[in-house]
Copies of this chain bind each other. A is one copy, B any other.
Amino acid sequence: MDLDVTAPTRSAASAAADLVRLLPGRFLDPVLAAMVLTATPGGLELAGTDRERGIRLSRPARTHAEGRVLVPAKPLAETLRNLDADEVRLVVEGSKLALRTPNARFALPLLDADAHPGVREAPPRVGALDAALLPRAAVVASATSRDDALPVFTGVHVRQREDRLVLVGTDRFRMAVASLPWRAEVADLDVLVPASILAEVSRQASGDEVVLHADADRVGVSWPGAEVSTTLLDAPFPDESRHLLPDADCAVEVDADALAGAVRRVSPYAGAHGSVLLDVDDSEVRVRAADSRFGDAQESVKATVRGDRFGPAYQPRYLADALAAFAGRTVRLDLRAGQRRSSVISEVEPGPAELRYVLMPKRG
């Protein structure tokens, strides 16, 4: 039972930091604020749970003695992060886990491992996708709400549609829809995944491929050396299709970065609760804002325009977030007026991973 391993410091430190970021906030129960370290002949496993999420990260290590211990997660992560030695030995000494380098010793209290509820395994595999597509999933996650009072808007709706995986996230004021190529291993998939874990997983995943796992209650993502799962959200998700109809009153093609730069410069003139206007003209979009105290601003951006002329108004941050998702690309804005008013941003030349971003213009 007396765990004793030597591990490369940097890889152990990054795993501990990843685990801490995947475990939500502050726990009253010290057992849940702790991580389970398991030394096996294959290396070191770091695991944690908040009773909903289950996280298991494996890292290479030379195991001198197998064992399993429970230690406070954040102190362990902070100590590993600060170390300057290339390797660190983790060894149980009495009631402590010692972290030893040639000239230093750091000792953390051991907690009662038997009090830990255990870390659930991920449900069965349902398919796989290229890890390079995860930034698109992160964009969809970032379009959701952080307000737990309406759980459906904190989730990403993940569905299989033929050979594509369609991800939809919305906070009611904006919506992002990604359609990604996907190697399905089941006939059907329709789940509501907490957006926060999807965003964090998109940042952490490494390697070429990530595997999706799901059953009726849980969903998981795995990649080499890591497995993360959590309870599904259970709520009816709104249908996005009416916002994605092909017709539009006006279509504008514009460089996303040029428009984003103008929005960034003009937005301070919108005041605290103001709007940024896009004035669509023959061959340009004028980005405008005015506030009685701050002054007024406008900047012109070259554009190709078809259809009616009009000038939708947006909350500056939402417009900036949407354009940031298309950095480096030329986008098309499909603008609709009246009862069906909405603005859909998409790529002019979409790659295999399609992304559409729907904004609700302010009522004029």
Residues of the B chain whose Cβ atoms lie less than 8 Å from the Cβ of A300: 103-104
Rounded to whole Å, the gap between the CB of A80 and the closest CB of chain B is 10
Asked if A295 contacts B261 (CB within 8 A), the reply is no
Asked if A295 contacts B109 (CB within 8 A), the reply is yes
Binds B, one of A19-27, A263-271, A325-333: A263-271
Asked if B107 contacts A297 (CB within 8 A), the reply is yes
| Contact A75-B294, Cβ < 8 Å, known A82-B264, A83-B265, A265-B82 | yes
Residues of the B chain whose Cβ atoms lie less than 8 Å from the Cβ of A107: 295-297
Residues of the B chain whose Cβ atoms lie less than 8 Å from the Cβ of A293: 109
Rounded to whole Å, the gap between the CB of A48 and the closest CB of chain B is 18
Residues of the B chain whose Cβ atoms lie less than 8 Å from the Cβ of A105: 297-299
| Contact A108-B294, Cβ < 8 Å, known A103-B299, A103-B300, A299-B103 | yes
Residues of the B chain whose Cβ atoms lie less than 8 Å from the Cβ of A262: 104
Number of interface residues of A (CB under 8 A): 31
Rounded to whole Å, the gap between the CB of A105 and the closest CB of chain B is 6
Return the CB mask of A111-135 against B: 1 if under 8 Å, else 0: 0000000000000000000000000
> Does A148 belong to the interface (CB within 8 Å)?
no
> Does A282 belong to the interface (CB within 8 Å)?
no
Number of copies: 2
Residues of the B chain whose Cβ atoms lie less than 8 Å from the Cβ of A72: 294
Asked if B297 contacts A104 (CB within 8 A), the reply is yes
Asked if B106 contacts A297 (CB within 8 A), the reply is yes
> In chain B, what residue has the closest Cβ to A105?
B298
> In chain B, what residue has the closest Cβ to A109?
B295
Asked if A295 contacts B104 (CB within 8 A), the reply is no
Contact of A295 among B96, B264, B266 (CB under 8 A): B96
Asked if B295 contacts A265 (CB within 8 A), the reply is no
Rounded to whole Å, the gap between the CB of A94 and the closest CB of chain B is 12
Rounded to whole Å, the gap between the CB of A65 and the closest CB of chain B is 20
Residues of the B chain whose Cβ atoms lie less than 8 Å from the Cβ of A249: none
A277-304, CB < 8 A from B: 293-301
Asked if A104 contacts B268 (CB within 8 A), the reply is no
> Does A78 belong to the interface (CB within 8 Å)?
yes
Return the CB mask of A245-279 against B: 1 if under 8 Å, else 0: 00000000000000001101110110000000000
Residues of the B chain whose Cβ atoms lie less than 8 Å from the Cβ of A264: 82
Rounded to whole Å, the gap between the CB of A222 and the closest CB of chain B is 32
> Does A349 belong to the interface (CB within 8 Å)?
no
Asked if A265 contacts B298 (CB within 8 A), the reply is no
| Top 4 A-B residue pairs of the complex, sorted by shortest distance between their CB atoms | A104-B299, A106-B297, A108-B295, A82-B265
Name 23 interchain pairs, CB-CB below 8 A, sorted by A: A75-B268, A79-B265, A82-B264, A82-B265, A82-B268, A96-B295, A96-B296, A103-B299, A103-B300, A103-B301, A104-B262, A104-B265, A104-B266, A104-B297, A104-B300, A105-B297, A106-B266, A106-B269, A106-B295, A106-B297, A107-B296, A107-B297, A109-B295
